[in-house]
Amino acid sequence: MSIVGMKLDKLLKRRAIIWLLLAVNIPGTIYGYIWYGNQLAYTAAHYPSWLLPFVPDSPTASLFFTLALILLLYPPKTMAGMAARALIEALAVVTSVKYGIWAVAIILAGGYQGGTIGWQDWMLISSHAGMAVEALLYARFFICRRMLPLALLWTLLNDTVDYSWGVYPWLPKALADDVPQVQTFTFLLTLISAAFAWLASAGINSRRPKLK
């Protein structure tokens, strides 16, 4: 590892930095669920209730990452706890990378096709790009690799439910006639995100620096 990489690892593993990320991600996650409020209400009124957990994709990804940071600060001691931690971390990396990139791409695609990109959209672009970046940066500190296949299966299931039942995130109006293309992009992005997660988590078992 290069000197720059070692310094970056040391910085990212500082408890103060992790707490700073929690201070950003916790309210961001809450805001994300509020953002999905209208779609959740619409889904509750028109679809079976079991579909509700599949609606708020990005805030759930942020929730997984938030939990992963907490478990990094306070790792469980039991085998069951370690297994749960690994699964949460795997879900955190795969879904944060996937929905981080997805939201940026969809907003920009809507703008490219004539939609308006306002300040809220730019806020979403920056926050979702941050989701993907932080997940990739912290993946090498996680113990998630053996659980990545399960995280991939869950995310593919989520995609299948979204586009089979029509509960995918509401798209910009400019993309209303592009749902089949968005669906294909979404499934491909899930596979790509899982591959990114696998590569980013390489080599974590032998070199996991201690928290400062």
Confidence of residue 105 (pLDDT cuts 50, 70, 90): very high
pLDDT of res. 206 = 40
Residue of 8 and 112 predicted with greater confidence: 112
**Could you tell me the residue ranges of all domains in the chain?**
3-200
3-state SS assignment for residue 153: helix
Q: What global pTM score does this model have?
A: 0.93
What whole-number percentage of the chain has pLDDT above 90?
86
For the segment 19-32, the average pLDDT, to the nearest whole number, is 97
Q: In terms of Cα–Cα distance, which of 202, 93, 205 is closest to 138?
A: 93
Minimum mean pLDDT range among 56-60, 177-181, 198-202 = 198-202
The answer to whether residues 171 and 110 touch, using CB atoms and an 8 Å cutoff, is yes
Q: Is the dihedral of CA 199, 202, 204, 205 positive or negative?
A: positive
Confidence of residue 127 (pLDDT cuts 50, 70, 90): very high
CB atoms within 10 A of CB 45: 7
- The pLDDT of residue 86 is above 50: yes
- The pLDDT of residue 116 is above 50: yes
Residue 43 structure tokens: 């889904």
Q: What is the DSSP letter of 14?
A: -
Residue 60 φ then ψ, to 5°: -70, -40
Q: Is 22 exposed, middle or buried (0-12, 13-18, 19+ CB in 10 A)?
A: middle
The answer to whether residues 212 and 14 touch, using CB atoms and an 8 Å cutoff, is yes
